[in-house]
A and B are shown apart, each in its own frame.
Chain A
């Protein structure tokens, strides 16, 4: 009965075709510069969203609810740590390192992904100059004096570290947990149903919408040739076409949502999404949660003691 091996192969064949096209792109840089970028974006989307890595470690096997709760607990604790509590930061990092080791996920991969936080944390850079305290360097600029304070440097470095640690731990979560498991964990942790449904639908359809965007873009590329070979059309023309594409994408998504709604109604949907109850958490789950919470309390205590001395 299972005769879909052929289509499976066909699908792979198609993606290989897509790759071939990309390989072929550098030959015509003027026409394809934007398309490479767009294709990169949409492929990157799929990669960024599909960060989950299959694995069979104790971290992968642990119930998604436990992981979600602990991730949130770690992020709250990290946020609560005062500036300059370096020993506590180190303890958090050690814990993350331990989990990373047990999970057998490539550290380089997690490190790379965790760096997305850095640009956002950079917004705290002004603290170096604005925080009052012991002046480290003072620069005379005409009638102004720009001074860099020790307290400012500590505050900035702390924010940078804390942001990075938080993203690091969130990255660990999504790398070791599949998206459907995360969604059902949110559901059983009583995250509002509408919110969970929106997240779930978004994940299901973002790939399809990205594919549609890609097709629209290709259709535009296919019609934007010029006999002279170089021209790509004016910025205004491109903007107008882009506007049309966005509108068309919205309409398609809207129509799709109506068809999905009809499909849901056909299967008895009455406004309330019902799902299977998840299995009860076991004693080992509560032990893991307990142990981690005690560790986090210790980390917080250490930061207090460090500040006290």
Chain B
């Protein structure tokens, strides 16, 4: 009898010791990133943001005393590969999965992380991702459905345009944005008089710009990727477009400005995240990123950085490494930037995994983003 009890006690002791050991080694965080293929630029930047955060957090002692073991893998901007990698991450016992950034890859990978009950913070922006009822899915940037109404309101109230031409990139990102903005325009009574799809990697915008001019719109809403935006802006200037040009995130990003040169001046845009925001924490981040990677970060880099710090902040809040509990805690949570400077701005998650946060209206002046207004989030 005694022998059995002693055996049991030893077993329990061993189990707890073992359990404790499992809770002190490095914590695995998987990254599914587009490092090649058409999504390589956002993917690489997001990944760099995450890596910077991991470096800082580990140097400061890790999360709850455990170092982060961050393993990024390349999904080649291929949904089939992303799905496989998501399965692998779940198999390997990852605590949290960060990424993908490409919307198509995300739609596939999310079913795997959902099945594996692993919290998944993504960089993608397609609206449908948080409408599928996946309790483990969280964004790091606004869904297009949140961002577009803000832009539409600006166009209605400040620009006072009654008709708009919409130029967008014909891929999942661009189409999603276009659908969202058209919906927002309809809701405010602004008429879309030209609907102009363009291709990723498109070089010649003369036909597209011509269409915009012919439509006689009061303003142009530009929702294309960085290089295409630069080319579009140059063509607009060349053909003498003198009406307002409004963009969202990519069209007014630092990269676009760098590539478009003077042609970008005067453009106004809404950005959820910009390294040029007049906030000391953000400027700090911008400097650290530049020191590490020798180039200026854009919004994807910020998304990656913030995501990792969100994981840190929320894990510390629940006090343990339980992915299911983490997801449950994140719904409806608010993270204060004062207490967790890594998240750069106060951030809140709603029940769908969408975020709410301040955002900025910027104007491009002399080749720089100048913040002209801060739009409040609904974060308490």
| A, B assembled together | no
